[in-house]
Amino acid sequence: MLFTELQFWVFFLIVGALYVVLPHKGQNRMLLVASYVFYGAWDWRFLSLILLSTFVDYFIGAAMGSENNDARRRRLLSLSLAVNLGMLGVFKYLGFFVDSFQALLGNIGYTADPFVLSIVLPVGISFYTFQTLSYTIDIYRRDLEPSRDFFDFALFVAFFPQLVAGPIERAKNLLPNISQPRQLSWDAFRRGAVLCLLGLVKKVVIADGLAPAVEAVYAHPDPSRLDIILATWAFAIQIYCDFSGYTDIARGIAKMLGFHLMRNFAQPYFAADPQEFWRRWHISLSSWLRDYLYISLGGNRGGPGKTYRNLMATMTLGGLWHGAAWNFALWGVYQGALLAVHRAFAGRHKHVGEGIVRGAGAWLLRIGAIALFFQVVCYGWLLFRAGSFEQIRQMTGRLLGLIDAPQGMSMPVPPAAALLGVGFLLVWDVLVERAGDVQFYAHWPIWLRAGLYAGMIYLLAFGSTTATSAFIYFQF
């Protein structure tokens, strides 16, 4: 079930009707069943993977919580890592590495018998695997007490709004929200509904409206430089609206039910450097990589060389988290290099110019830095979106003027509603950034709020496209 389909909203209406009449424990049990129904609608066979991860990590967590021997605790954690990363490795990466190894042997003159492995990628496996791993790692670090209720823990793993594309929640944040009674309120329902509406506008009107134009250029064998630039800008907006749109809907649904999911995006294209970008983009993943991978590798301890190594390793693995393809690994390397260069430069020059530029000058300097860094981010999206190394080489060469290309623009013009939606979103994000609050409209007069809601409904009603597709991050 997709959030953009009527079937889902019928499902949610039934869940909501049951939710309001059940007591707290009954709500949790019903939500667990509903979450399994929601996930099983994709492919019921993959429920076995969620159940395996749930059973393993619940009982490992309970065993670690009552174990004081450090060696035994490490063995228990290793078992959790082996099961969860083993499932992720088999279903997401095994075929990729087998194919890559066969290609490598072919390049050096050896012919290997083809090893055919056709495995369907379970939707959302990267998200719930990281979520359950954070639980066992936190218990191992003694930052968290294990859950005493198996069914509450199972709901933490499978909670349907954020199950297939995040945000990647931490047990210390979501489990208390599950185990304690929740208060329903009209204000929370209204705010959740607005988040859902905003997410649908982002996904259906903007992301799906821009998708055909982006696809036309990236599928073209000989695009012009202008086409590449415009299509990559469009893809930057598409992927942001697609992914943050999912998160908005997930957070909105949870809020209507009395849950509080973490914010996953904070106007990422207003970032002026890579470190700030990763504090704003896919916050649940970037913070997970920082807390459980970067710090475990040593973080910034041990001098600049080891810090840069840890940054590169973390971001390369973060790139591969997105998909079993070398362009994702290259994208991760690119992001790691940006972070390493920024850290080296900022560390040496952080006091240069402090206090010199103020007022309007500082504001203009900030705008210029944002505009410049957006181009840097967009080249990363070119690496992310490209279908092959050859396409990356060709497009990069044309952007740099090293490869001749057709002149002009052949990219289809996106629908007017999508362009209007982009303008609406820019104003929305500016208001959120200025107010420092995603609920900036909450204190507006009722007539102004009604106009805002009506505008979003208008965009959704008249800007919807028949080309609605699955969310991009479902493939990860």
CA torsion, points 233, 237, 243, 248, in degrees to nearest 10?
160
**Which amino acid would we find at residue 10?**
V
Q: Which two tokens stand for residue 171?
A: 């047990």
Which three-class secondary structure state does DSSP give residue 136? helix
Instruction: Give the sign of the dihedral formed by CA 415, CA 417, CA 419, CA 425.
Output: negative
| Residue 322 annotated to the active site | yes
**DSSP per residue over 390-427, as a string?**
HHHHHHHHHHTTSS----S--SPPPPHHHHHHHHHHHH
Tokens at 459, concatenated: 């965009």
Question: Tell me, what amino acid is at 7?
Answer: Q
353: left (phi over 0), alpha (psi -120 to 50) or beta: left
Instruction: Find the helix packing angle between 171-179 and 150-158, rounded to 10°.
Output: 120
Contact (CB, 8 A) for 391 and 207: no
Extract the tokens encoding 343. 């850290």
- What is the number of other CB atoms lying within 10 angstroms of the CB of residue 13? 10
Lookup: tokens for 380: 């990363």
Tokens at 455, concatenated: 């505008």
388 secondary structure, DSSP code:
S
Q: Is the Cβ–Cβ distance between 169 and 262 less than 8 Å? A: yes
Question: Rounded CA gap, 184 and 178, in Å?
Answer: 14
CA distances from 13 to 42, 51, 246, 253 (A): 19, 26, 18, 11
SS3 content of the chain, % helix, strand, coil (to 5): 75, 0, 25
Closest among 458, 363, 367, 392 to 420, alpha carbons compared:
458
Choose the catalytic residue: 322, 342, 351, 443.
Answer: 322
Whole-angstrom distance, CA of residue 52 vs CA of residue 62 = 16
3-state class (DSSP) for residue 111: coil
Catalytic annotation, residues:
322
